[in-house]
């Protein structure tokens, strides 16, 4: 049996859609730009939301790429056969160009043709939308699959929960999807066995979303004028579908596991979970640190997730006996595995290694402090039992992992009230989730006048900061809601009150000038030569949009923007603070936003 490598799949996918006249666009940052709904880029379509909503993409109406993605909702599950925090999403898009027939036919061709993946047709199953009160049964997709030769026994009609995407927020584009599965060697779990039952017989690896409706504020689903196709196929899922086993059995992890084995003197077979956690978490940490926006470990937002990943990897590395500094060697194996596909990892190699070393030193101090606190608490036990609330305090206040608390307790024949710990932990999780839901309220499709104006203000702020602080300043991320903007930028110290005042003044001068905001499409080289600032992260040389605001700002961006700087009202910085090491954060508001000729005061600022 032929075993596919990750590079083979990447190359085949891009080549196939290039032959179908798709422009190849580069992977965007794993840190979303101006999106308050998520901490990381979670899907290939994520950076393309403005274009799925109707903005013109500079590379045309047919696009394809491989997007680096991060999903961290199941960190504690990593170590089993299926969970990873980093993955690559191969995608292709039609922005008002082709629709269901071409999309499904090309998917079928790529999956089954001997030139491409060559998966036997008998091993393929598909699902389509069964219809409901909002939208009819997707007979069109069903008929296309039948015409292509898909077995009718392996075409399943499923409800909205299984075969519908969107909208991202309360309103916006949405529509039915059709999903493609490989049929595993597992027997049917019963007469009603289907891809919806979760028994493991069917492994989904490709999803074709047909954005043909718009959900209104009144809850109606109206047909879209521009119908789009958004597809996604996980690289790791495809490797499993083709080669069998788990993603950890693929070439993506072989060299990383070899590094762990050399450092620990153990084997993957004997320490499977630890190897998987260390490899997955180090891989994700490397991609976050090596990203163009490159956040560093901290106690907030992406930096907090990064810290958690690094420390969980370190904890499992310690269990294997890997000495201090070992994680950097594993990180080097990750960089070597991916640097040809993502050259930014090699460019940022020194920073990646340095930040890992710094965070490991911090963690060692945390462990020492936690150990001292454990000794204090263990001297005042009740009936030889450590209170669950105390165990949670060690975790929450001192960053001491519960697994280490359990290990120390076993050594001293101490019983931990785990039920009490879990109760405290669950309450903590519920509060965190509630806070996150409030913090990230809104949606990917929030392109209101308020957010467009605030987004425009980030351009003026970026340019003003570079004038006041120098060219050291570079954007490291932004987050915009309808009420305020948050802008992260590289700088080595706290801004003075005078620097903040001058920055604010420069932005307001640009607003008062009432400059028309224009954009041009050009190549990245042309953008560089024109003096534009922004992320120059392309590997393929595709065209970009460059937005110009008179003499005040020239920046690469995808939108949305105001038409004139005068629409912004008055700009005010409300806070300047540290975000992470050598990264500062500014929060700002527009005191009034012009809507339909009226100035509307902004309230309830975060």
Helix or strand or coil: residue 144? helix
CA distance readout (Å), 246 to 121, 239, 336, 391:
22, 8, 22, 35
Name the residue with tokens 């992890």: 253
**Beta-carbon contacts of residue 408 (< 8 Å; ≥ 6 apart):** 371, 374, 378, 414
β-bridge mates for residue 24, sequence order: 64
- Tokens linked to 2: 């032929």
Report how far Cα 283 is from the mean position of its chain's Cα atoms.
Answer: 14
According to the annotation, is 492 in a ligand binding site?
A: no
According to the annotation, is 197 in a ligand binding site?
A: no
CA atoms within 13 A on the CB side of 137: 7
CA quadruple 263, 266, 271, 274: dihedral, nearest 10: -10
Strands 86-95 and 62-70: antiparallel
Q: Is the peptide bond before 560 cis (omega within 30 degrees of 0)?
A: yes
Q: Is the peptide bond before 94 cis (omega within 30 degrees of 0)?
A: no
Dmax (CA) of the chain? 74
Name the residue with tokens 């069109």: 140
Report how far Cα 256 is from the mean position of its chain's Cα atoms.
Answer: 22
Name the residue with tokens 């891009």: 14
β-bridge mates for residue 546, sequence order: 520, 556
CA distance readout (Å), 172 to 389, 413, 445, 559:
44, 58, 6, 17
According to the annotation, is 455 in a ligand binding site?
A: yes
According to the annotation, is 193 in a ligand binding site?
A: no
* Residue pair 538/58 in contact by the 8 Å Cβ criterion: no
CA quadruple 293, 298, 304, 309: dihedral, nearest 10: 90
For 149-299, where are the E strands, in sequence order? 155-158, 164-165, 172-183, 202-215, 221-234
Query: What are residue 443's phi and psi, to 5 degrees?
Result: -175, 165
Helix or strand or coil: residue 178? strand
Report how far Cα 547 is from the mean position of its chain's Cα atoms.
Answer: 25
CA atoms within 13 A on the CB side of 239: 24
Strands 23-24 and 62-70: parallel
CA distance readout (Å), 163 to 110, 141, 156, 196:
21, 12, 10, 10
- Tokens linked to 81: 């056969």
Q: What is the DSSP letter of 494?
A: P
Q: Is the dihedral of CA 141, 143, 145, 148 positive or negative?
A: negative
Give the residue ranges of the annotated binding site for Zn(2+): 455, 459, 557, 561
Give the residue ranges of the annotated binding site: 455, 459, 557, 561
């Amino acid at each position: 049996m032929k075993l596919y490598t990750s590079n083979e799949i990447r190359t085949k996918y891009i080549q196939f859609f290039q032959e179908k006249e798709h422009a190849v666009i580069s992977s965007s940052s794993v840190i979303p730009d101006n999106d308050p709904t998520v901490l990381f880029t979670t899907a290939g379509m994520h950076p393309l939301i403005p274009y799925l909503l109707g903005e013109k993409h500079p590379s045309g109406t047919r696009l394809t790429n491989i997007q680096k993605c991060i999903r961290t909702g199941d960190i504690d599950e990593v170590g089993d056969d299926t969970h990873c925090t980093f993955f690559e999403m191969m995608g292709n898009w039609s922005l008002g160009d082709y629709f269901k027939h071409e999309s499904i036919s090309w998917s079928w061709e790529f999956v089954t043709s001997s030139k491409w993946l060559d998966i036997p047709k008998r091993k393929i199953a598909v699902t389509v939308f069964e219809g409901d009160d909002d939208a009819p049964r997707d007979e069109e997709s069903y008929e296309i699959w039948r015409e292509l030769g898909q077995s009718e026994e392996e075409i399943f009609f499923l409800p909205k929960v299984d075969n519908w995407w969107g909208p991202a927020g309360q309103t916006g584009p949405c529509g039915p999807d059709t999903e493609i599965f490989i049929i595993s060697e597992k027997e049917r779990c019963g007469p009603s066995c289907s891809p919806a039952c979760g028994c493991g017989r069917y492994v989904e690896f490709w999803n074709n979303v047909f954005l043909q409706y718009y959900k209104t504020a009144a809850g109606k689903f109206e047909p879209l004028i521009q119908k789009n196709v958004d597809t996604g196929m996980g690289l790791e899922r495809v490797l499993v579908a083709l080669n069998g086993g788990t993603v950890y059995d693929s070439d993506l992890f072989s060299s990383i596991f070899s590094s762990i084995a050399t450092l620990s003197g153990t084997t993957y077979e004997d320490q499977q979970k630890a190897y998987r956690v260390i490899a997955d978490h180090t891989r994700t940490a490397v991609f976050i640190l090596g990203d163009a926006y490159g956040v560093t470990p901290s106690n907030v937002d992406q930096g907090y997730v990064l810290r958690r990943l690094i420390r969980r990897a370190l904890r499992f590395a310690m269990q294997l006996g890997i000495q201090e500094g070992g994680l950097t060697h594993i990180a080097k194996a990750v960089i070597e595995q991916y640097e040809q596909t993502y050259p930014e990892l090699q460019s940022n190699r020194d920073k990646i290694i340095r930040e890992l070393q710094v965070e490991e030193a911090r963690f060692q101090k945390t462990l020492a402090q936690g150990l001292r606190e454990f000794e204090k608490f263990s001297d005042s036990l009740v009936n030889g039992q450590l209170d669950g609330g105390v165990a949670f305090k060690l975790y929450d206040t001192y960053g001491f992992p519960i697994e280490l608390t359990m290990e120390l307790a076993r050594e001293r024949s101490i019983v931990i009230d785990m039920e009490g710990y879990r109760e405290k932990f669950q309450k903590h999780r519920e509060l965190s989730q509630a806070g996150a839901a409030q913090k990230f309220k809104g949606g990917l499709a929030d392109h209101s006048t308020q957010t467009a104006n605030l987004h425009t203000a980030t351009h003026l702020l970026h340019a003003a900061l570079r004038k006041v602080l120098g060219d050291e300043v570079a954007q490291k991320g932004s987050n915009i809601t309808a009420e305020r903007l948050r802008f992260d930028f590289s700088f080595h110290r706290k801004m003075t009150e005078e620097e903040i005042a001058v920055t604010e003044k420069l932005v307001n001068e640009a607003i008062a000038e009432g400059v028309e905001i224009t954009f041009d499409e050009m190549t990245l080289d042309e953008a560089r030569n024109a003096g534009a600032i922004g992320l120059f992260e392309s590997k393929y040389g595709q065209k970009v949009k460059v937005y110009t605001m008179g003499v005040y700002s020239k920046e690469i961006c995808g939108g949305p923007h105001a038409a004139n700087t005068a629409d912004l009202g008055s700009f005010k910085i409300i806070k300047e603070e540290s975000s992470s090491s050598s990264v500062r954060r500014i929060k700002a508001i527009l005191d009034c936003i012009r809507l339909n000729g009226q100035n509307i005061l902004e309230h309830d600022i975060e």
